[in-house]
Structures are given as structure tokens and as C-alpha cells.
A and B are shown apart, each in its own frame.
Chain A
Amino acid sequence: MATQDLQIPDAAARAAVLPGGAEELTDTHGEKMVLNMGPSHPATHGVLRIVLELDGEIITKATPEIGYLHRGDEKIAENMTYTQFIPYTDRLDYLAPLANNVAYALAVEKLMGIDHQLPPRCQYIRVICCELARISSHLLGLGSMAMDVGALTVFLFTFTEREKIYNLIEALTGARFTTSYTRIGGVSRDLPAGWVEQCRKFLGEVTANIDETEKLLTRNKIFVDRNRDIGVISREAAIDYGLSGPNLRGSGVDFDLRKAHPYLIYDQLEFDVPIGSVGDCYDRYLIRIEEMRQSVRLLRQCLDKLPGGAGNASKEPVNIPDGKTVLPPKYKVLTSMEELIHQFILVTEGVNAPPGEIYFSAENPKGELGFYINSKGGGTPHRLKIRSPSFVNLSILSFLMPGHMISDTVAIFGSFDFVMGECDR
């Protein structure tokens, strides 16, 4: 079904196609209705508000209103040390906090010039975090997308798996949701005993679950009809509007920061980047499914190649061995003068970053999450800008929505997989 066939933009055009011309128009013809959707609406995935101008059921104009979750993260960042800001990154894309932690830590490490000193085990653990977060985020994205277009069962399926991811994350970080796992120069703790085995078990289960989800959706007539040729974004428009992540790749742009500008150890791992051919909601759905499979593949490789093995028998470090960057072990703080001083300086003044400016971006589940840090030296950024993928992805809505039926909005929202915590910051 091509939506263009249904699109009759205004009363004049409608009159032109009628045999009797304007006389045949009844009173209701050509009258536009303004419909306010959100900020509290189940399909807007948080607090997006969109003001729709409707001609019948056809959207003629869409104005997204954002900012309902604006907390001033960038202002807050200017008033605290780099390490203190890590918990705030949990609250950006709160469906993939681990990936935000990693991206932020890498940005600060790039500013300090220590990103190449990260121990291999730390890099592997961080990749494991990123890919677990990707699976978790895509599972929710798919579940809620399917639920919005009427397939409630899928949501329950994917949430079963997300629960297992939350258990893994809890075992790893101590928190299920607000992980704050990374530190500048490392991670807060090593993998706990038995975690690798649990993770392997989970990977087997989630693969089966993805297959089941695909069986429920990919050839499902209703799901396909509601998504195919809906919300088509051309390659040119996707680039012009600065889309990133699955939404960009859905439009056929072969671009993934993990391939184009590999960070951590992504250049040593094998994975494929799926891209779409049409750029509709269905393509974006297929890409998320495939990305989860690729994440499983990446996770398997990481678990196999993990330096030090599951139990870290060879005592591989997970932090940069530099007391001026990473907090020293507690027993040393209590027994040695130098470590005590380092701990005191790190806690009160923060890491000593040089003056300069950097931009670092990572391929997060939602797209390109970038941090621009402008430093005048010392432990606090002069300016920290968060380039959030959801913010940029949503800016295309006012261009994309006109011409669609009002029921298509939920399919488009679902396929965009945005998070307002990240959009509004």
C-alpha cells in the first residue's frame, strides 16, 4: 500500500479531483483538525508531544514539541568533576545505560590522551557491556513497536529476555538500571565469578527468542501491512537530517561507527552491518533484528577471547595502572601515603585533564552518541555537549509525517526507537 495514493493535501486539490468541483465539497471537506498527541501517550515512548494537523485521517502537518524531560545535564556537567557526571550518563538513553557509560568514559579518556592505554581486558569488558546494552535496547524497541501496531505478545517475549539481561547487569554492576559501571580509565569492578557462564547461557536463550520473535512478526500479514512502505526515508533525506544508527542504515547508508572509526577492540572482531533497501519502518525493524544477532556474535567472540579467561586467573588488570587517573585500591589508601594523596585529589578535584577540545562518538543502540568536551584544564569541563541520536533522529518527523495516516504515527514512532531522556537531556 503506497501512502502517496491517499494523500490529498488540501481542500483545493480535493475539489480539483471531484467531478463537480468545489460545489461538491461538504462543510467538513477541507477543514483541518488539530490533534495534540502526548506528552503522556503510550505510543510516544516517554514524553514526546506532537501537534498534528489533520485532514480527515491524513496528517498534513506535524510539529514535534520536546523538552518535557529536560534536566539540564550539560549545565550540571559544567559544575562537577568528570567522574561525578558518570551517573548522569545512565539517565540519557536509560534503556542502554551501559553503552552511555562506555561512550562517556571513552570521550574523557580521549581528552586525556589515555584511550590507547586501556588494558585489553577492560576493552573486552566494555565491548561486552555495549553489546549487551544493544540487545537490551533493541529488544525493548521491537517489543514496544510490535505492541503499538497491535502485537502484544511480542512485548512479553522480549521482556522475558530483557529480564535476564537485567540480572546479568545486576551481577556485573550492582544495579539493574542505573549502572554507572565505567570509570575514567577503566571499569568499577571485574566480571564476577560465574558471570561468563551465565552470559553464555543467556546468549543461547536470546538467540532462540529472537528466532521466535521473527516467527511472530517478520511474515505476519498485519505487521507487514502496517510497516511496509510506511515512513519511507530516502538516503538523501536521511543524511540531510543527520540520522544515525539503525534509522540511517535502514535508508541504505552503509555506516556504522564501529566499522568506520573502530574504537575499543571492534576492529579485531568479526561482525556484519545490516543495511536496508527501502528505508521504511519494516526495514528499520529488520535491521534491529539482525543487529541483535550480530551483537550475539560479537559477545560470543568477546567471551571466547577475553584476556585472562572467565575467572581472570592471570590477574589481568581492568584499569589503567595509574593512581592519578583511577582510584587506587582501598587497602593501599589505608596503608600508604602516596595512594592516600591520590585518592584525596581524585575525589576532591577529579582527574587532571589537559586544556583542549575533543569530540568522541560511539555507535550506541539508538545511533551516534557523541560527547564534545571543551576543557580549560583540571577536573571539570568548561563545556560538555551531548550529541544525542534521539534528538537528531526526531527532527525529521515534521518532514516525514505529512501524508501519512494518523494510525501510521505509532508505526513510525515505534520504528524510530527514540528515548526522550536522551533527546531532552
Chain B
Amino acid sequence: MSALELAQQLKARFGDCISEPAEFRAEITVRLSEAERIAEVCQFAKKEMGIDYLVDITSIDNYGTDPRWTIIYHLYGYGHHCHLRLKTDVSEEKSELPTVTGVWRTADWHEREIYDMMGIQFRGHPDLRRILMWEGYPYYPLRKDFPLGGKPSAVPEIAFTQTAPEEGGPFVTIAGGKSSTAREPRVREPASDDVELNARVERRRDMKEVHGHSHGPGPVEKK
């Protein structure tokens, strides 16, 4: 059996919901047009097509286009050793689709991760909580409109974040000017270094914006 035959089998059962199989680098991808039927399709794939191993679920943010989300299921069968990629689109207004935890239990953490990172809900998931970030973190960091450096946030008594400096600051070598040895963070003196000083001032201001005082729940810096 080949992956192409699997795709045809899926198409024979679900008809127009399943797109023509696309091939790239010897990998077969089919697209499911109705995300609502994903659990049904997966159940069929497991029962009738011998796809017993859900390798991975992942999501893509197609920021600026509609539908915004693409969910990708990587399927594999130990019996026939074939991979199949199943994709489905979800609009930003909806941001929800049925869970496949009832089909493969490994979907549990994969779906939690997608919820945590992109904010897509899985209806019927037994325990849809944040997994990598903490409960109460207000953003979805893998969205394309979330900045690389992060945003300030605070959950009192649990955790807080600040914007990471992309230049200057305690971990980053400053660009240009002096020799690279002199620009390394560990040789710079905070008190006499403008970049350091500005980074600290900015951090304090961020903290004040978030929770009213200029030091966070973390350790207070000594003068």
C-alpha cells in the first residue's frame, strides 16, 4: 500500500470534502475542507486505513489571509509504513475544531500545545489547559502578530515577563563601534554604560505599566 492509495481511500469515503492529493518530495498531503469533520475522518483513518500512529499535530498562522489557521495532522501506520499529511483550515472568528483525543490519546498534549501557542480551541478536549506557558498568561506567542521579543505581562505570585532586549541589555552584545570584546555584556559596567542604563530604565517603566510599581514580583535590584 502506498500513501497515494491511502489518500484515494479517504477521498472515496468522504468525497468532495477531501482535496486531490498533492505530492511534494514524495510526501502526500490531502486537505479536508470541513474542519468540523476532522474527528470523523481520523476515526475512519484509524479504523479502516490502519493509521494507528498519530505522529504530530501542528498549526500554522497564515496571518493576513483568511482562513487564518491551518491545522496539520501527520499520520502513520505501523502496518503499512506509510505517512499521510492531513490539513484543514479554521477561520479566525471560529478558532475552534473538534478534538481527536478520542481517536489517539497522544493528541492530548499536541492539542494543548496548539491551544497554548496559537489560541485555537479543541472542542471536547478533556483537559484543555496551557502546557508550556503558565495559566493566566494573556498572549499566544506563536501567532505571527506576537513580537519576537515578547510582551510584558504579570500573573501575581506566579510569573511575569518583560520585553527581551534585542540589542543591549544583560545578554546581548551591542552592535558596531568598539571591538567585540568590549561590546560583550559581561565586560560592560552597568553604571557607566548608556545602553545598560537605558535598558534598565525601560524595564522599570514596563514593570510600572504592568503592575503599578517599578519592581516586579522578582528580586528587587539593590542600588
Spell out A's residues near B (CB within 8 Å). Answer: 66-67, 70, 72, 74-76, 79, 110-111, 113, 239-242, 253, 255, 260-261, 356-359, 361, 368, 370, 372, 374, 382-383, 385, 387, 391-392, 394-395, 399, 424-425
Contacts and interface: CB of A to CB of B under 8 A. Distances in A.
Given A75-B142, A255-B78, A372 B105 contact: no
Given A113-B25, A374-B60, A387-B56, A75 B148 contact: yes
A383 B60 contact: yes
Contacts of A240: 52, 104-106
B105 A359 contact: no
A168 B132 CA distance: 35
A242 B106 contact: yes
Contacts of B105: 240-241, 395, 399
B132 A424 contact: yes
B133 A357 contact: no
A22 to B, nearest CB: 31
A402 B141 CA distance: 33
Interface string B132-154: 11100000011000101000000
Contacts, number: 87
B54 interface: yes
B125 interface: no
Given A67-B132, A370-B56, A391 B109 contact: yes
B78 A392 contact: no
Nearest to A112: B25
A361 B25 contact: no
Given A72-B141, A358-B24, A395 B109 contact: yes
A66 B131 contact: yes
A352 to B, nearest CB: 16
Interface in B1-27: 24-25, 27
Q: Which of B106, B117, B148 has the most CB of A within 10 A?
A: B106
Contacts of B203: none
B25 A111 contact: yes
Given A66-B131, A74-B142, A358-B24, 5 more contacts: A72-B141, A239-B52, A240-B105, A359-B83, A387-B56
Contact of B133 (A70, A79, A110, A385): A70
A395 B25 contact: no
Q: Is the interface of A mostly helix, strand, loop or mixed?
A: mixed
Contact of B53 (A79, A242, A395): A242
B198 interface: no
Contacts of B47: none
27 contacts: A72-B141, A75-B141, A75-B142, A75-B146, A76-B148, A240-B52, A241-B106, A242-B104, A357-B29, A357-B85, A358-B25, A358-B27, A359-B74, A359-B85, A368-B55, A370-B56, A372-B56, A372-B58, A374-B60, A383-B60, A387-B55, A387-B56, A387-B58, A387-B74, A391-B109, A395-B105, A424-B132
B49 interface: no
Contacts of B134: 67
Contacts of A72: 141
Nearest to A355: B24
Contacts of B27: 357-359
B108 interface: yes
A67 B131 contact: yes
Contact of B25 (A110, A241, A383, A387): A110
B174 interface: no
A412 to B, nearest CB: 17
Q: Which of A67, A79, A385 has the most CB of B within 10 A?
A: A385
Contact of A66 (B60, B81, B132, B146): B132
A373 B66 CA distance: 21
Interface in B70-99: 72, 74, 78, 81, 83, 85
A111 B26 CA distance: 11
B210 to A, nearest CB: 20
Nearest to B166: A79
Contact of A372 (B61, B72, B81, B130): B72
A76 B61 CA distance: 15
B148 A372 contact: no
A397 to B, nearest CB: 10
Contact of B81 (A70, A261, A374): A261
Contacts of B61: 383
A307 B193 CA distance: 54
Given A70-B133, A72-B141, A359-B74, A239 B53 contact: yes
A385 B105 CA distance: 20
B81 A260 contact: yes
A79 B146 CA distance: 12
Nearest 7 A/B pairs, CB to CB:
A242-B106, A67-B132, A385-B58, A395-B109, A387-B56, A70-B132, A356-B24
B108 A395 contact: yes
Nearest to A79: B148
Given A75-B148, A242-B54, A395-B109, A67 B133 contact: yes
A356 B55 contact: no
Contacts of A111: 25
Contacts of B131: 66-67
Contacts of B72: 372
Contacts of A356: 24-25
A370 B83 CA distance: 13
Nearest to A253: B78
A418 to B, nearest CB: 13
A359 B83 CA distance: 10
A16 to B, nearest CB: 28
Q: Which of B55, B83, B146 has the most CB of A within 10 A?
A: B55
Q: Which of A76, A359, A374 has the most CB of B within 10 A?
A: A359
B197 to A, nearest CB: 27
A133 to B, nearest CB: 22
A113 B58 CA distance: 23
